[in-house]
Amino acid sequence: MTLDRRPSSATGRLWLLRRVVFGMAVVLLGSVLVFAATQVLPGDPARAVLGHEATPERVAALRTELGLDRPLVAQYLAWLGGVLTGEPGHSLVTREPVGGLIGDRAVNSAVLVLVSAAVVVPLSVFVGAVAGRRRDRPFDRAVLVVTLGLTALPEFIIALLLVILLSTSVFPLLPGTVLLAPGQNPFGEPAQLVLPVTALVLGVLPYLARLVRGSVIDVYESEYVRTARLKGVPENVVLRRHVLRNALVPAVQGTALALAYLTGGVVVVEQVFNYPGLGSALVDAVNNRDFPVIQLICLVFAACYVAFNLLGDAMTVYVTPRLRTAGR
Amino acid sequence: MRVGLVLTGLVLLVVVIGPFLAPHAHSDIIGAPFSPPSATALLGTDYLGEDVLSRVLAGGRSIVWISFVGTLVGVAVGAAIGMTAAYSGGVVDELLMRTMDVLRAFPPLVLILLLVSVARAESALMPLIVAIAWVPQVARVAYGAAKEVVGREFVESAEALGTPRMRIVRREILPNVMTPLMVDFGLRLTWSIGIVSAMSFLGVGLQPPAADWGLMIKENYQGLALQPWGVVVPVLCVAVFTFGTNLMTEGFARTVARVSPLEVTT
């Protein structure tokens, strides 16, 4: 690998194309997994829905209705075709089309994730950069202690502590549960969003802030910063031109990772606040063994997760050109 | 690190001897639901009228053993897969690691919910489910660490001596990836405690009448304004526990492994 020669943009585009194709293949195989999980593992969906007391005829009838008597490959292709054409079947519990059932909730979850990301990314960059610049000073130490404490706590414990502290007995300031009618705009009641977003932000902040802090420190110790200082470049120019520009590389990558992490984090946080999103829909569906809903939501989560991770890789490569030629 | 040891030790002490100190059986109804603290129930009662203190004392056992066994199995299997792929190279490498990529396409908790939806979480299956969620992630960590070792001279000389391949993985590669794996184990233990209690909180883990911190939070959450102790105490127990294991991991990573835990997983 030659480090000094910038690769042509064609190489970069080819690389990106390969990653996108690979990501799509992963999601496709993920869909096989989602489908197979409901087939291969013990337990008959029809019996699970109807319960143990159901008569064999009733079970057989539901199996036919759900298409469970067809060969597995045919079932899978029918399901996948349905997902791609926007008709992924009906809920076993409410009998509604799955797509309509989760549409609103997907929007609600997306709002939660994007608002949290919009808060946490600038905040982490600021906190991390200041801590890194004032390394080992009181602010830095405080940041390290707080982030160390926060990394230890699972998101739902953070969320519950927020509810206990801010919406019940101690300081009753903010609503602890979200009351949204289906289809209602989550921005309609901004106060309701504060605690769920805070919980998610506190879950991601420690990782991202420490990532930025580490890279700011690395840049300050680098030779080009020393050279710039020896040349007599003013300190604030060093900060702006050299440090921030280079230290933002992990922040860019971290943003995509944060989105991926938030995607997983919403599941529990939504449940704590009774927020009507995809995560709480998934939990309800799992408790009801509503397989069409479970399958689709898991697939949506996988697609977002893969897309955000891919975005992270692509951004990293975009900001560090020499990586474009390296490996896979 | 010392603080971490003390906190973790404290929680483990409560978990081990707690059930013997409990004033009531964990599923005995001793008063009206959500009654405030009194002489008979020092922390009040829960949604059914069971003693909160006794349930807290009895409710850590499941979390401790499920998260510990789950993490151990997950790290062991994941490490085996990652090392085998890194050492074998070629088709085996591609097959194993691409399979892991597919599993990593799901956020861990979503993968767990998918598995639970089919395998109805019995507490005996929970460690297995937690382990499966960790395998692909650990495999990637072990793979990365092992890839740096497989081309080194001592591996080549072992090959030249005709050492069996399994033995090379065990004797030459494993010791060299042990440190990152131990840091990884510590991090995942902390996360497992969160995940196991979250599973019960979401209603897909332990089921009533079991005493379990995660389940207690779920059961008593509706009465939070009325009788906060049924939620606050289990939340604090989980928080102290994860705090302790995390501090221990940080301490180990800094002093023994001399890496930042961030480097191991990201």
- Distance, in Å, from the CA atom of A122 to the CA atom of B239, rounded to the nearest integer, reads 27
Contacts of A163 in chain B (CB under 8 A): 224
Q: Out of A61-65, A249-253, B242-246, give the one with best mean pLDDT.
A: B242-246
- Are A168 and B224 in contact (CB < 8 Å)? yes
Query: What is the interface pTM, i.e. ipTM, of the complex?
Result: 0.82
User: B62: closest CA among B9, B15, B131?
Assistant: B15
Query: Does B202 lie at the interface with A, CB-CB under 8 angstroms?
Result: yes
Which range among A213-217, B24-28, B64-68, B244-248 shows the weakest confidence by mean pLDDT?
B24-28
Residue ranges covered by each domain of chain A: 110-289+302-320
Higher pLDDT residue, A71 or B212? B212
- Compute the mean pLDDT over every residue in chain B, rounded to the nearest whole number: 81
- Are A286 and B204 in contact (CB < 8 Å)? yes
Query: Does B262 lie at the interface with A, CB-CB under 8 angstroms?
Result: yes
- CB neighbour class for A142 (10 Å; exposed up to 12, middle 13-18, buried from 19): exposed
Under a CB-based contact definition with an 8 Å cutoff, are residues A163 and A196 in contact? no
β-bridge partners, B51:
B45
- Are B262 and A257 in contact (CB < 8 Å)? no
Mean pLDDT in residue range A224-237:
82
Query: How close, in Å, is residue A6 to chain B by CA atoms?
Result: 26
- Distance, in Å, from the CA atom of A158 to the CA atom of A147, rounded to the nearest integer, reads 13
Q: Out of A257-271, B71-85, B243-257, give the one with best mean pLDDT.
A: B71-85
Query: How close, in Å, is residue B163 to chain A by CA atoms?
Result: 30
- Are B198 and A268 in contact (CB < 8 Å)? yes
Concatenate the DSSP letters of all residues of A99-149 into one string. Answer: HHHHHHHHHHHHHHHHHHHHHHHHHHHHHHHHHHHTTTSHHHHHHHHHHHH
- Distance, in Å, from the CA atom of A117 to the CA atom of A111, rounded to the nearest integer, reads 10
Res. A266: pLDDT tops 90: no
Question: CA–CA distance from A287 to each of A160, B131, B249 (Å)?
Answer: 22, 21, 34
Residue of A nearest to B225 (CA): A168
- Are A268 and B106 in contact (CB < 8 Å)? no
- Are B118 and A41 in contact (CB < 8 Å)? yes
Look at residue A10 in the predicted model and tell me its pLDDT: 66
- Are B106 and A257 in contact (CB < 8 Å)? no
pLDDT in tens, B67-76: 999 999 999 9
Res. B171: pLDDT tops 90: no
- Amino acid, single-letter form, for residue A45: P
Look at residue A124 in the predicted model and tell me its pLDDT: 87
- Are B115 and A37 in contact (CB < 8 Å)? yes
Mean pLDDT in residue range B123-132:
85
- Compute the mean pLDDT over every residue in chain A, rounded to the nearest whole number: 78
Look at residue A83 in the predicted model and tell me its pLDDT: 78
- Are B194 and A42 in contact (CB < 8 Å)? no
pLDDT in tens, B29-44: 777 777 777 777 777 7
Query: How close, in Å, is residue B165 to chain A by CA atoms?
Result: 26
Residue numbers of B between 71 and 130 with CB closer than 8 Å to A: 101-103, 105-110, 113-120
Mean pLDDT in residue range A32-56:
70
Under a CB-based contact definition with an 8 Å cutoff, are residues B98 and B157 in contact? no
Look at residue A328 in the predicted model and tell me its pLDDT: 39
Query: Does B29 lie at the interface with A, CB-CB under 8 angstroms?
Result: no
The residue written with tokens 């975005």 in the block is: A311
| Res. A4 pLDDT band, cuts 50 70 90 | very low
Contacts of B112 in chain A (CB under 8 A): none
Look at residue B261 in the predicted model and tell me its pLDDT: 57
- Are A285 and B117 in contact (CB < 8 Å)? yes
pLDDT in tens, A183-202: 566 666 677 788 888 888 88
Res. A20: pLDDT tops 50: yes
Higher pLDDT residue, A44 or A272? A272
- Are A43 and B119 in contact (CB < 8 Å)? yes
Q: What DSSP state is assigned to residue B31? A: S
CATH classification code of A110-289+302-320: 1.10.3720.10
| Res. B156 pLDDT band, cuts 50 70 90 | confident
Look at residue A195 in the predicted model and tell me its pLDDT: 84
Res. B151: pLDDT tops 50: yes
| Res. A327 pLDDT band, cuts 50 70 90 | very low
Max CA pair span of chain B:
75
Residue numbers of B between 123 and 152 with CB closer than 8 Å to A: none
Concatenate the DSSP letters of all residues of A247-274 into one string. Answer: HHHHHHHHHHHHHHHHHHHHHHHHHHHT
Mean pLDDT in residue range B162-167:
76
Q: Is A137 left (phi over 0), alpha (psi -120 to 50) or beta?
A: beta
CB-closest option in A149, A210, A301 to B106: A301
Residue of B nearest to A146 (CA): B243
From the candidates A156, A288, A305, which should be mutated to test the interface with B, based on the most B CB atoms within 10 A? Answer: A156
Under a CB-based contact definition with an 8 Å cutoff, are residues A89 and A292 in contact? yes
Question: Which residues, including other chains, have CB under 8 Å from residue B241's CB and lie 6 or more apart?
Answer: B7, B8, B11, B60, B63, B193
Buried b vs exposed e over A76-108: b needs ≥16 C-beta within 10 Å?
A: beebbebbeeeebbbbbeeeebbbebbebbbeb
Look at residue B76 in the predicted model and tell me its pLDDT: 93
- Are A271 and B201 in contact (CB < 8 Å)? yes
Tokens coding A221: 């110790």
Higher pLDDT residue, A133 or B65? B65
What's the sign of the alpha-carbon dihedral B132, B133, B139, B145?
A: negative
Mean pLDDT in residue range B186-201:
89
Under a CB-based contact definition with an 8 Å cutoff, are residues A291 and A45 in contact? yes
Mean pLDDT in residue range A268-274:
85
| Res. A8 pLDDT band, cuts 50 70 90 | low
Mean pLDDT in residue range B189-206:
87
Under a CB-based contact definition with an 8 Å cutoff, are residues A59 and A46 in contact? yes
- Are B105 and A306 in contact (CB < 8 Å)? yes
Look at residue B73 in the predicted model and tell me its pLDDT: 94
- A to B CB pairs, distance under 8 Å: 137
Tell me the three state secondary structure of residue A97: strand
pLDDT in tens, B59-116: 888 888 899 999 999 999 999 998 888 888 788 888 888 888 888 888 888 888 888 8
H helix count then E strand count, chain B: 12, 0
Question: CA–CA distance from B264 to each of A8, A248, B146, B228 (Å)?
Answer: 32, 21, 13, 39
Dihedral in degrees, nearest 10, Cα atoms A256, A261, A262, A263 = 90
- What structural domains does chain B harbor? 14-32+39-257 (1.10.3720.10)
Res. A41: pLDDT tops 60: no
**N-terminal to C-terminal alpha carbon distance within chain B:** 22
Higher pLDDT residue, A21 or A264? A21
pLDDT in tens, A280-290: 888 888 887 77
Which range among A11-15, A116-120, B215-219 shows the weakest confidence by mean pLDDT?
A11-15
Q: Over pLDDT 70: what percentage of chain A? A: 82
- Distance, in Å, from the CA atom of A194 to the CA atom of A269, rounded to the nearest integer, reads 12
The residue written with tokens 């006794």 in the block is: B54
Integer-rounded Cα radius of gyration of chain A: 24
| Res. A5 pLDDT band, cuts 50 70 90 | very low
CB-closest option in B106, B243, B250 to A298: B106
| Res. A322 pLDDT band, cuts 50 70 90 | low
- Are A267 and B224 in contact (CB < 8 Å)? no
Look at residue A312 in the predicted model and tell me its pLDDT: 77
Question: Which residues, including other chains, have CB under 8 Å from residue B98's CB and lie 6 or more apart?
Answer: none
Query: Does B45 lie at the interface with A, CB-CB under 8 angstroms?
Result: no
Mean pLDDT in residue range A225-247:
79
Q: Which helix (H) or strand (E) holds B17?
A: helix B2-21
Q: Is A257 left (phi over 0), alpha (psi -120 to 50) or beta?
A: alpha
Contacts of A30 in chain B (CB under 8 A): 102, 105-106
Look at residue B71 in the predicted model and tell me its pLDDT: 93
pLDDT in tens, A302-319: 888 888 888 877 777 776
Contacts of A280 in chain B (CB under 8 A): none
Phi, psi of B150 (to 5 degrees): -60, -25
Residues for chain A: how many in total? 328
Helices (H), B104-206: 108-119, 126-147, 153-160, 165-168, 174-201
Query: How close, in Å, is residue A55 to chain B by CA atoms?
Result: 21
Look at residue B135 in the predicted model and tell me its pLDDT: 92
Tokens coding A316: 């990293």
Under a CB-based contact definition with an 8 Å cutoff, are residues A166 and A192 in contact? no
Look at residue A171 in the predicted model and tell me its pLDDT: 64
